[in-house]
């Protein structure tokens, strides 16, 4: 609103109210200019940051965001032909590979109306964690999990991604005793501590490398 238009619209006001309206108009125009200037400066800084060459702060490493779901009888722990036969054994494998990193998000009755040969009903558990490559390798070896070629719709709420969506690789296990699967999202990190950050990489290449590393 310019001064001429302001003067016309405040013509019916008293001198004191007119002066107040003009001052408010000047302040509004000043704040608009300041806000616009700040926006331009922020945009310019963002553009400079994007165009700046990548500053390497340390070697790359891969971490794995995991949502793991298991269903089966909750017994005293056991193995058969080298495979876990109940949830107690699987949970022990979790604690062995990642320890307190694991957090349970679901626990209760299984949706599968199945009992084992001892008549025990199945139970359900869901765990999430972010593991190192060595921890995921240990978990894969202990549980028999392997990266599948099956395409997924991705994960929702994977650890490290908040409530957002992330692409994911399906990990499966062939077992007649339990139902076990995981959605795994590998992420490339650089730096340490406060300097740690995600590194953007080609997802298809990263997924291909992950499947090759954890093939059945």
- Please give the helix or strand (H or E) that residue 134 lies within, else none: helix 133-143
The structural domain count of the chain equals: 2
- 78 shares a domain with 146: yes
- pTM here? 0.68
DSSP annotation string for 22-49: HHHHHHHHHHHHHHHHHHHHHHHHHHHH
Residue 56 domain-assigned? no
End-to-end CA distance of the chain: 70
| pLDDT digit string, tens, across residues 158-194 | 888 888 888 999 999 988 888 899 999 999 888 777 7
- Radius of gyration, CA atoms only, the chain: 29
Residue 80 belongs to domain spanning: 61-213
| pLDDT digit string, tens, across residues 62-120 | 999 999 999 988 876 665 545 677 788 888 889 999 999 999 999 998 887 666 666 67
Residue 192 domain-assigned? yes
| pLDDT digit string, tens, across residues 107-134 | 998 887 666 666 678 889 999 999 999 9
Helix orientation angle between 87-96 and 133-143, rounded to the nearest 10 degrees: 160
- 120 shares a domain with 45: no
């Amino acid at each position: 609103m310019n001064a001429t238009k302001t003067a016309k619209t405040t013509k019916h006001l008293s001198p004191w109210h007119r002066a107040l309206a003009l001052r408010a108009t000047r302040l509004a125009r000043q704040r608009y200019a300041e806000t616009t200037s700040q926006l331009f400066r922020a945009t310019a800084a963002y553009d400079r940051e994007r165009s700046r060459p990548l500053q390497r702060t340390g070697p790359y490493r891969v971490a794995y965001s995991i949502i793991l779901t298991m269903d089966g009888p909750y017994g005293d722990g056991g193995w058969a032909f080298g495979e876990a036969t109940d949830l107690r054994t699987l949970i022990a494998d979790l604690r062995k590979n990642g320890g307190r990193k694991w957090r349970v998000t679901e626990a209760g009755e299984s949706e599968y109306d199945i009992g084992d040969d001892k008549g025990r009903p199945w139970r359900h558990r869901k765990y999430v964690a972010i593991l190192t490559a060595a921890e995921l390798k240990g978990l894969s070896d202990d549980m028999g999990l392997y990266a599948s070629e099956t395409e997924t719709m991705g994960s929702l709420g994977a650890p490290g991604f908040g409530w957002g969506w992330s692409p994911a690789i399906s990990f499966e296990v062939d077992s007649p005793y339990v139902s076990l699967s995981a959605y795994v999202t590998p992420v490339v990190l650089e730096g340490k501590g406060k300097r740690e950050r995600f590194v953007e990489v080609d997802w298809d290449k990263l997924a291909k490398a992950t499947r090759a590393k954890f093939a059945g």
